[in-house]
Amino acid sequence: MRMHQTMRWYGPSDIVRLSDIRQAGCAGVVTALHQFAPGEVWPREAVRARRELIEAAGMDWTVVESLPVSEDIKKRRGAYREHLHNYARSLENLAAEGIRVITYNFMPVLDWIRTDVSYPMPDGSLALYFNRTDFIVFDIYLLQRPGASGDYTGVEQAAAKLRFEKMTAEQRESLFRNCLLGLPGSTEAFTPAQVLEALDGYKGIDEAALRKNLFSFLEEIVPVAEKLGLRMAIHPDDPPYPVLGLPRVVSTESDAVALLQAVPSPANGLCFCTGSYGARPDNNIPAMVHRFGDHIHFLHLRNTMRDKDGNFHEADHLDGDTDMYAVVKEVLVIQQRRKESIPMRPDHGHQMLDDLGKKTFPGYTAIGRLRGLAELRGLEYGIFASQYNATPPVSIS
């Protein structure tokens, strides 16, 4: 039993074609209907059309990434009850078309944050990078979030002030734009005022309140998913700690434990991202995979490299702070016990070779992910052959 290998696809507008993903050796595609805003229903006809498109390319679509949770649901304000109803309807339509895993996250306002999406690596490829000092520059000087300075030490503020003063207008604009790429609809040109308004919407919602809202969402949605034979898989926070004064509640092992205990169900589980969890030094990734094995419904395998100042970049898949050998070895044990393949995708490949200079979704160039998948496939093949004294099939289906 080996992992079901997939790649993420952003739909017909993605510069990476379905044929590229198939040629990379994938058996499946992970995608979403990005044309619908959070809170809207995904019509069954639209789901079917996307599924048929993928199947015509010789692959399957069994994992959604992501069915977004609206800000109103996260805050439990405004139109959240209507959005919950629509979420349940979308689950029904997805299940009717053969989807089995629903990925989502509960990060307020921003889904992910990086300060540089073209960080040069020694070999000339480009990676995603989070620099804490640059982020403080963004928070205090570019966004000018009220009270932002109180979140940082005097030493950090001094370093940020010096960095800001040395930046050109072009560098400041690039930093502002990069930090907002995780904002839904980030192809638009957002102003600081618009972002501050979104942040202000979470006034009065601390970590305890956001966690309570997450558990309420699960109490209402997980029974629907279980009845439909679906598995909900929550993606961890990226990065896995509070940012911009916003709480984060899916960052640590204890967060995952609390979430699973809040609504015990085979439908309540994890999208285990080794990169997001791995950006925290206090998360022991192989141990967490072992502990949560029966609750992992989807895997993001990527690696990050941290430093002592809180900066991290996307490393090669087999060369970062996470012991990927130990992770894959544990996943194979879990799959033999569960007697099922866990869907996996390589995540956040480097921009390299002919993809340099192309305008793609950050972290989602074709060749960098192909390289990551090839490395992970080889690692899995070697572990499987040695551990189970058998030659696994090269092609996964």
Percentage of residues of the chain with pLDDT beyond 90 = 91
What pLDDT does 328 receive?
A: 97
Beta-strand relationship, 312-315 and 126-130: antiparallel
What pLDDT does 394 receive?
A: 53
**Predicted TM-score of the model (pTM):** 0.95
> Is the previous residue joined to 66 through a cis bond, with omega within 30 degrees of 0?
yes
* Residues annotated as part of the active site: 235, 273, 300, 347-348, 364
pLDDT at 299 over 90: yes
Is 1 exposed, middle or buried (CB count within 10 Å of its CB: 0-12, 13-18, 19+)? middle
- Where along the chain do its domains lie? 4-108+205-387, 116-200
pLDDT tens per residue across span 81-111:
999 999 999 999 999 999 999 999 999 999 9
- Identify the residue with better confidence: 95 or 191: 95
What pLDDT does 396 receive?
A: 42
Question: What's the Cα-to-Cα distance from 147 to each of 63, 150, 151, 156, 196, rounded to whole Å?
Answer: 40, 6, 8, 15, 12
- The tokens describing 246, both together, are 């916003």
Mean pLDDT, residues 354-363: 92
Q: How far is CA 387 from the centre of its chain?
A: 30
Pick 4-108+205-387's CATH classification: 3.60.140.10, 3.10.20.30, 3.20.20.150, 3.40.710.10.
3.20.20.150
H/E stretch holding 101 reads strand 101-104
Mean pLDDT, residues 159-184: 94
